[in-house]
Amino acid sequence: MCRTWACLLSVAFVFAVAPVHRANPAYKVQVTPNESARRVDVTVDGQAFTSYIWPQSLTKPVLYPIVSPAGDVVTRGFPLDPHPGERTDHPHQVGLWLSYGNVNGVDFWNNSTALESAERAKMGTIVHRRIVRSESGAGRGELEIEAQWLLPDGRPVLNEDTTFIFRASNGIRSIDRISRLTATGGRVAFKDDKEGVVGMRVATWLEQPEAHSQVFTDSSGKATEVPGTGGADRTGEYISSEGIRGDAVWGTRGRWCLLHGRAGGGGGSETTLAIIDHPSNPGFPTHWHARGYGLFAANPLGQKQLSGGKSELNFSIEPGKSATFRYRVLIISVPPSADQIEAQYSDFAAK
């Protein structure tokens, strides 16, 4: 009998496309701003789903933590809430975020308060400006915010208008992030760079087992060693829309990519995360900057570095003009089929 997730995935292609996950009005999605605490909390029937936060200890606003319908936290705790046994590399990778490694020559991706002051002085910062609106409702909630991307001297280079749409139904949560970036002054160049664009750092149990240590180098040449850690507590596996699996997903292109694993060292509940690209996004279909150590990111703009030189995209936004990036993130506590993820893509693409 077919019982494993991989087996279910392969069998699923035989059957008709399953219904698309839609907001279920039986679930109450509450979006609660608390500006004095620098956060907006999102709950489903009173249970934590996620929070939009902009603490002074971060250099960009993020969604953190993110909790599955089964109650499992799918994002890494470090550096905000470290847990025993967690990796402590790449302290700028927190929750779910959107940023980029080379905007007019300035790095907005790698900035963190863990850097020495001389290094931080060269980095860009994304600053939350205001909550435009928040709406709670049956099966669905929304949050609209404004932020600015600031150069090291404090000048804004981009205005950001982002809408988050939070949905809930049985065994599934989803987050749509729609971010419009507007050039505030002159032309804004996004030089081809592997560090971007929308990313999340996942919990230990969603990491892929890695037998050996690896060294990862950012665009400025800074190297970070990530120790290898095998064992039953790492249960993650990437699968792309093109059927590519595991470490081989990195750098490839696809409409969507998922990461599945099982909490509790393989003995707990099964969870699938998926990031879905939108066909209107620049550089569609995106390249996947998906690392076994727990970075799960979609980068449509770093084509030269991610493709090994096969393609290149130096994207830009002209003065006063805008570009919009749309992504859907799924958090699923029931084993989905590839058809279900594909149906989600079709639904998202039609909007």
Domain presence at residue 16 = no
Tens digits of residue pLDDT in 8-33 = 343 333 222 344 667 888 999 999 99
Whether 86 has a pLDDT exceeding 50, the answer reads yes
Which range marks the domain in which residue 322 is found?
72-134+141-349
- Selection from 195, 232, 208 nearest residue 90 by Cα: 195
pTM of the model as a whole? 0.90
Overall domain count for the chain: 1
Domain presence at residue 171 = yes
Domain presence at residue 281 = yes
Three-state helix/strand/coil letters over 164-221: EEEEEECCEEEEEEEEEEEECCCCEEECCCCCEEEEEEECHHHCCCECCCEEEECCCC
Domain presence at residue 45 = no
Domain presence at residue 221 = yes
Least confident of 84-93, 165-174, 182-191: 84-93
What is the model's pLDDT at position 108? 98
pLDDT-derived band at 209 (thresholds 50, 70, 90) equals: confident
Tens digits of residue pLDDT in 111-149 = 999 999 999 999 999 999 999 999 999 999 999 999 999
Domain presence at residue 317 = yes
pLDDT-derived band at 226 (thresholds 50, 70, 90) equals: low
Domain presence at residue 43 = no
Positions of E strands within 4-124:
28-34, 39-44, 47-53, 62-66, 96-100
Domain presence at residue 30 = no
In the chain, % of residues over pLDDT 90: 79
